[in-house]
Structure formats: structure tokens, C-alpha cells
Amino acid sequence: HPVRTRVALLFLLATAACVRHSQTGPEVDTRPEPIPVHVKNENFLDMNIAVVVSGVSRRLGNVVGNGSGDFMIDGNLAVGQTLYLTATPIGGRGQATSGGLSVGPGQMIDFTVASTLRQSVATVHDAR
């Protein structure tokens, strides 16, 4: 069986050379860009900010009362998905929700947390 072993070894070497050769071409980054989020908190309470996609909540960070903050959402989360932003008061009750948002490449989200949480609003617009 030495002939079979040699043939198998040659096949493996040729395959490895092809794989290695195909990886030397220019790399194309197909990952979507992160989505910028600007949060303006008009409430006096500090807020935990999260993004909800497919029922899964991911914390972005917090924004102090009467302050603002900037966050980034992983672009892979938003491709073809409706997402929601939430603001939950630290030491308070209730929650502000943006409603369903569809965000495309080159766009960003502005989320204003109102002093009355149910009056909070989010808008999607071009980041440029």
C-alpha cells in the first residue's frame, strides 16, 4: 500500500497548497458597520440603555439624568432585523421603549428619553 499512501500524501499537499493560495488574495471585510446610537436623557433619573433584537436584550450602558451618551450597536445584530431600544430607570419604575426600528448601512439612531417615559421617541436618520 505504499502507492496509496504516496497518492494520499500528494493529494493532501496539493489541497493544502490550494487552500493557502486562496487565502493570499485581498481580504474583503463583509461585516456591517456598527450602528451609532445617541441617547438624550431628559429624565432626572439615570437610565440603563439596552438594545433588544429577536427578544434578546443586550445592555449598551447607562446615561445619567439630564445627560446624554453615545453607544454603538454591532452591525450584525441589525441586518434584516427589527430592533428596539429600552431605557430603564435606575432606582425607579417603568421603562421607555423606542418602538420597532429598521436601521440600514450608514444610518444612526437618536433616542430621546422623555421626563415622562411613555413620551420617549427614537428616530433613524443618515449618519452623514
The tens digit of pLDDT for each residue in 27-48 reads 666 788 999 999 999 999 999 9
57 pLDDT exceeds 60?
A: yes
> 73 vs 79, which has greater pLDDT?
73
Grade residue 21 by pLDDT with cuts at 50, 70 and 90.
very low
Give me the pLDDT at residue 80, please: 84
- Residue 99's SS3 state is coil
101-108 average pLDDT score: 93
Q: What does pLDDT average to over the chain?
A: 87
Nearest Cα to Cα of residue 71 among 104, 111, 30, 119:
111
First to last CA, the chain: 66
